[in-house]
Structure 1
Amino acid sequence: MEYSDQPPEFDFTHGPTEAERRAPSVFRNAVSDALKRPTKGGRKVLAMFEAQNPNGLVARWQRENGDLPETGAIREATDFLKKYGGRNCVRSWPTVTDLNDAIGVLEAALGDEPTEVKDVHWSDDELKACLIAYLEMLGKEMSGIDYSKSETNQILRDGPLKDRSKSSVEYRMQNLSAFFQEQGLPTIDGYKPAGNVGPSVLERLIRLHVEIGQVDPSDFAPSVDERTTRERSSRLRKAVREHVPAGNANPSRTERFGSSYVRDPAVVAWVLEQANGKCELCDADAPFLTPIGEPFLEVHHVTYLGKNGPDTTSNAAALCPNCHRKCHNSEDPELVRLELVQRIPRLTDHGSVAGA
């Protein structure tokens, strides 16, 4: 079906005749609005149409069957549509899944060809960003590493989900809990699985999960061991290619292996992906390939972690071994740090390394 860019044009109380009610000039516009404005007017429009219009599903069912039953699926469906689209409806919007369920029950009872408000308004890039963020949080939770759901939500809305509300991102995370549960995988505490994920979204999530390499959530867990961090980051590179990991503004320190800091493998993976095999200080190609064929570069914290630098992409650069040693052992490491900050746009000046 072709979707119009125009908002719905029908009157909720005195709408078109029953024969016209499914005409493209009416329903197409309502569905289009639902797709374009998933958190606001579109789904409300559909609920209002079906609940208030004389030719909407509720009125048609009552004309054919009389009074509504006291209980059962029909009653639940009509109550739902009236709750979100009746004359005294609540000031909030129904979810796609719940709206489809309610409409589907009444359409089936009336013998109508089913229609569906599809969830295509969430792009693959948006779903992938949520999926990777969910895996990152799950990995940290499974490893007992502190993280913030609200901070992750904000980072997503500052970046790939800039057009989404806080509540819509939270609900999507609950959808992902349902998806992971259906796949027999662990889920995040606090994100209660939100009903059934629609079949179209489920298919896309399965495909996107395969595209990012079906990574193990534990690979997102920060580690103090350099070899473990490198191995995990290698497995994560495909997953984080288009997703900036949150990292850790205050990485924890451990004395288990001397005096070392816990490092986020997702940050390492993302920085290496951005470097694309070239040192970000001297522009030279990586000096050799690893056993799995990846260019060997080392990820350096521009403001040292020991100088309270964060373990984030805004404080990390991929360097050849020679330049990495230069950052630590040259006559003036602070001068090298400033050069990096000036050369790499994503870097933030997190403070001097003088006197280290």
Structure 2
Amino acid sequence: MIELQAQLPWQRPPLPFPASLRRRVGAALVDNFFLQTARLGRMLPVAHPRLHGVEVLRDQPYSDSGADHHLLDVWRPKASSGPLPVVLYIHGGGFRVLSKDTHWIFGLAFARRGYLVFNINYRLAPAHPYPAAISDAALAYEWVTRNAHRFGGDLSRLVVAGESAGANLATGVALASVFRREEPFAKRVFDTGVVPRAVFAACGILQVSDPERFLRRKRLRPWVHDRLAEVADAYFHRCELRHPRELDFADPLVLLERGIPPERPLPAFFAPCGTRDPLLDDTRRLAAAVERLGGKVRARYYPGELHAFHAFLFRRNARACWRELFDFLNEHLGAPPR
């Protein structure tokens, strides 16, 4: 096995028991917070799609595996005057937790503005380590390119979107559409011949293999570092790689920062992040890397906001983020039909 450049999670010695216990308890608390928040939000009357003129076609398979992790939901406006711009939405959750069902609000937010949304599940770590998640995202992308028209979609106005780990996967899928690669999942995307018009990469974790990079720049509270380290530990659980470049779709930021021109033009990126988000530097680096390759990027930094703030629509900055996103998409795709 070729020695990899970074000290990867499976190469580190086991944590002492107190640190291991702290990490497990912290992970359980954070996971439960997001699960319960999504469940409670979905119970609110205002969350019902019909109130917004939206319909949902649930649990459509994008693979013949028969597994829940290969299902997606289709969100679309009930009435429209023409083909709809398409969003492939890939949920976050540290590659470990959450699902299309916890991320219903993103399907609703796009569909009520006139977009056809495919909100996917994918295999989760540690049971399914890298590259399972990006392989599933690529499979869903291929399925969308073949099937969006059946639901009224216009593939010439395709957006790939996600937050946190989902932003990592959305960025990876977008790069697979423009870089000719040997990975089977990347070839599947490239061979569709379809390049997204835009990428919505919110508060992305874009270099999973090196969680220690944050400590090299600033001091982090132990529970924050624990969350970042557990993402890497889960994603690379029992994962065997033979060359550093096999990490490129876990670390799409590094792929961009090499500065190698892609075979096709990059899509436009909208990359929002809160200034108190520990992942802020990844968004800054993403914006710089896309610009160096001649791509179009609009990075937005929202003062005082934490990770995934845009999911909490009662917040002023969250509403501002969505307004700026839709303005950006209108510029690059044109406004959805009414």
Structure with a larger share of its residues in helix: 1
Higher strand share: 2
Compare relative contact order (CA 8 Å, sep 6+) and give the higher one, 1 or 2. 2
TM-score normalised over the length of structure 2: 0.27
- TM-score, L = length of structure 1: 0.26
